[in-house]
A and B are shown apart, each in its own frame.
Chain A
């Protein structure tokens, strides 16, 4: 079982009033375990719909979707919640951190919906924060952190339950270019060192260039699907600029 994602003839249609809109028109795709994929396309091309289906937030109208070998097409609401909790880490454009809640507690959040004991929750949240270089900001609230730091807290939250796959929807969309490189450095490092399959939706080719594989969507279909021979390396670029390199520690234990 070497594919984390297998989709076959995926169709998704929405009904808007009397008009039926087809967001995805028969997409077939496999993504290998441990790959780093960027999905691109203009708005309305169907990439967000696909991400929602990948994230088990939405169900396809037709076709099959197998995540980690399990068909998730006909699972119930709570079963999907369980899969999201255990197998998927989400990173959003707007970070979606809880206000007036410390970074540590934000990171702990996914563990609240498991049977993890309080002490272990804290330890694991602390490790996850350390892995994105924010161990010293554990008790800061989101409004005391910069945008880049907030996104790193969000990544730590995505990591805390040891997912097999990270889904990032425009993770750098709200960040400046330097901070964006820092965030991509974290994704690349997690992907390389822990083998977490990573899928990033972006409309910036610069960001897609950090991935190993680029998929382009247009009108609900794949128009380009290519391997990148030499992806950009965020860490090297940061070292060259001499900017702040995220203090990353070896991250086996996360």
Chain B
């Protein structure tokens, strides 16, 4: 340990005698490490953002969409027919063991008015379980209850965007708004969720009890007064997703009297899978950026090798002298290797600092999330040391194997 410290001191002195050259050599490593740190930070920032968005959907969520019927040989897409009903939702809740919570939803849209302000927004009718599944919390006021659903009470929950547009800074709770000219009392305001993974504003919404929505706002299908557009299902855990999906599909096929050869008249979508793919692509992106940046690190390493070779040639007589007075092969090898590693590590440290500040600047000006993990810093540090060893070994070996007589005579 002491010996290594001593050689580091000797190496530092050798590097200091050629300040400009050492600085320029380090520049390669500095830029390389800074680029890697910066790119990985930007990449993992993007990944973290996607994860955040996925979390905003709620965890372990499966969506069952109605639709896809075949009429006279023409297949219609999801939602083309309202094949799901509130009863389906109730059946899923009571019969599927892998399912924790179920919420039927109907969707629509309409103009909302409060005083002089009005706003066009999405309207969703559902049950209180929906709020649990989507992990909504209340910013103010309180959620509606299953009594409200049973009694078709005219209460509404506003998303943040709607509340802001209608009420500005005043508290909407308890106020009366008109949705498609029907007066509703605002029960509460939902906490902001931000963008969905597909880029929609999840706060531009009004949530009503499903019964009220059907009767007063969206209207119910004449054929099936119980029809719902979609059913949100929450599995009991991440490992139960597959099972829940299977149970729901079987139950619905049975309830809809589908024969074995008939297609499903509904679609089951596992959101986790959809968004996991997105997350993976973000991660691949960040690895790709890192890989591109490491090319400059490689170039920096070659710069170190180049300068070490020059240094060995310049100091041939010194090496000859050291060999003559008793330096062993290992001693000379260590001396030059430590010099190369010191060069690389100093460059690495400066690069880490520069990369960290760089990603901070990026996140500040470009309003991107960046995330610098200690792992990335450690990796950059270890990697620059490895580069020093890898590219320093050849010149150091060349120095250590010099013939002392020739080296002493070298002009």
Contact = CB atoms under 8 A, between A and B. Distances in A.
Interface of A: 52, 55, 57-58, 77-78, 81-82, 84-86, 90, 92, 96, 98, 100, 109-110, 112-114, 118, 157, 161
A81 B326 contact: yes
Interface string B1-24: 000001000000100010000000
A113 B13 CA distance: 18
Given A57-B404, A57-B405, A113 B328 contact: yes
B253 interface: no
B317 interface: yes
Contacts of B326: 81-82, 84-86, 110, 113-114, 161
Which of B324, B328, B404, B405 is packed against the most chain A CB atoms within 10 Å? B324
A84 B404 CA distance: 12
B325 interface: yes
A116 to B, nearest CB: 12
A112 to B, nearest CB: 8
B328 A81 contact: yes
B97 interface: no
B158 interface: no
Contact of B322 (A109, A118, A161): A109
B123 interface: no
A129 to B, nearest CB: 16
Given A57-B404, A98-B318, A100-B17, A113 B324 contact: no
Nearest to A92: B408
Given A84-B324, A96-B317, A58 B329 contact: no
Contacts of B321: 92, 96, 98, 109
A54 to B, nearest CB: 12
A9 B209 CA distance: 113
Contacts of A86: 326
Interface string B72-106: 00000000000000000000000000000000000
A110 B405 contact: no
**Chain A's interface: helix, strand, loop or mixed, by majority?**
helix
Contacts, number: 54
Given A84-B325, A96-B321, A113-B327, 10 more contacts: A78-B328, A81-B329, A84-B324, A84-B326, A90-B325, A92-B321, A96-B320, A109-B321, A109-B325, A113-B325
Interface residues of B, number: 20
Contact of A81 (B17, B320, B323, B405): B323
A42 to B, nearest CB: 18
B331 interface: yes
Interface in B325-355: 325-331
Contacts of A85: 325-326
A6 B326 CA distance: 22
Contacts of B329: 77-78, 81
Interface of B: 6, 13, 17, 317-318, 320-331, 404-405, 408
Contacts of A109: 321-322, 325
A24 to B, nearest CB: 14
Contacts of A57: 324, 404-405
A110 B331 CA distance: 12
A99 to B, nearest CB: 8
A110 B17 contact: no
Contacts of B320: 96
A110 B328 contact: no
A105 B390 CA distance: 30
Contact of A82 (B317, B328, B404): B328
A92 B317 CA distance: 12
Contacts of A110: 325-326
Nearest to B411: A94
Contact of A96 (B6, B331, B408): B408
Which of A55, A78, A86, A157 is packed against the most chain B CB atoms within 10 Å? A78
Contacts of A90: 324-325
Contacts of B317: 96
7 contacts: A81-B326, A92-B321, A92-B408, A96-B317, A98-B318, A109-B322, A110-B326
A100 B17 CA distance: 8
A85 B322 CA distance: 10
B265 to A, nearest CB: 84
A63 B256 CA distance: 105
A118 B327 CA distance: 17
Contacts of B327: 81, 112-113
A112 B321 CA distance: 13
Given A98-B318, A100-B17, A58 B405 contact: yes
Contacts of A100: 13, 17
Which of A52, A81, A85 is packed against the most chain B CB atoms within 10 Å? A81
A157 B321 CA distance: 11
A85 B325 CA distance: 5
A217 B17 CA distance: 43
Contacts of A114: 326
Contacts of A161: 326
A109 B6 CA distance: 12
Contacts of B331: 112-113
A86 B325 CA distance: 9
Contacts of A77: 328-329
Contact of B325 (A52, A118, A157): A157
Nearest to A167: B324
A25 to B, nearest CB: 20
A98 B327 CA distance: 15
Report the 7 A-B pairs with minimum CB-CB distance, sorted nearest first: A85-B326, A113-B326, A110-B325, A78-B328, A96-B321, A81-B328, A57-B404
